[in-house]
Amino acid sequence: MELRVFWRTLVRRWYLSLVVLALTVGATTYVVRDVVGPTYEAEGSALVFPPATSMKKEGETTTVGNPYLELAGVNQARDVVIRTLKSRTVQTQFAEDFPGTSYEATPDFTNSAPIILFDVEGDTTAGTSAALEELMGRVPQILDDLQGGLGLPQEGLVTARKLTQDSRPAVVRKGQIRAGLMTTAVAGGLGLLLLALVDSLLLARARSRALRAAREAEEVRLAEEEAAAAPLDPFDDPYEDASEDVAEDEVDDEVDDEDEVDDPVEVDDDVEEPVYTYRIPVESELAVSPARSKWLHNGSGPRDSHRFRDAPVAKPRTRAAGRNR
């Protein structure tokens, strides 16, 4: 299941996967080629040779027996030479003479002969070859130093002979392979972790956007439902808001009329009060039912009685009477 999720993430963020792959390949190439680089290895071997058994007779020295039959007797001398080569003094001097190189001197355990194996590694071909030559040349010097104070003749000294030596070092890429694998693992792992982090951040942002959009859509839907389900007020005048100014003027006029009514008015009995008649067609929308009308009698003419109604008033009507229009 985790592998499936991991693969889907790589496919979904394929452009980031390509970037991680390119960076990993570039980092591995740089480390393998420029940082670590190849190493060169040269091998050689030397045989610790025993002295020949000799005897003098009548002024002549003759060799008795074969020296190769006495090889087992010089294993101790071989071990002494190897121990000297591994000393700190020799290693320090060798590192100063050939920087960037290392060596190993070990006995050959594949047979019983007193053979010393040499293995030298270096950064360059020439340096490795020179270091091997110098290392194998130290064996006779060490043997001479060990036997110098014994007073033995030259024929009775233990010597060393070179058996094999590489003329050209071999290229070894073991370090490059190891460094390449480690770099690939580290760079690839970090790249995949960053890819997973970026993918999680992008998914979280997309999820938050979707939730916000859904929330806004839900709010709009609820507002529309509330507006559709709200009951209409039967007493609400749709023209009330549009005619606020007119209503305010009418209220002011009514207030003025009330003030005039409240004020005492002196009426002269000798003066005849005028009578005003309003003629409103019956078919007009301004006409009201007779039950609610304030008209007192019909028109004076018989021909107009069915069309108009008259009403005497004591003073001119104002806009406050607009409720009967």
pLDDT of residue 100: 85
Q: Identify whether 257 is part of a domain.
A: no
pLDDT of residue 108: 87
Domain boundary among 119, 152, 172: 172
Tokens 């709009």: give the residue.
Answer: 220
pLDDT of residue 216: 86
Burial code of 227-236, b = ≥16 C-beta within 10 A, e = fewer?
Answer: eeeeeeeeee
For residue 60, the one-letter residue type is: E
pLDDT of residue 325: 45
Give me the DSSP letters along 27-92.
HHHHIIIIII--EEEEEEEEEEEPPPPEEEETTEEEE-S-GGGGGGGGHHHHHHHHHHHTSHHHHH
Are 300 and 281 contained in the same domain? yes
Are 156 and 198 contained in the same domain? no
The parent domain of residue 300 ranges over 276-325
pLDDT of residue 161: 87
Are 109 and 142 contained in the same domain? yes
pLDDT of residue 294: 47
Residue ranges in the chain modelled with pLDDT below 70: 1, 52-72, 230-325
Cβ–Cβ under 8 Å, residues 55 and 64: yes
Are 297 and 186 contained in the same domain? no
Number of domains in the chain: 3
Q: Identify whether 288 is part of a domain.
A: yes
pTM: 0.52
Helix count (H) and strand count (E) of the chain?
7, 9
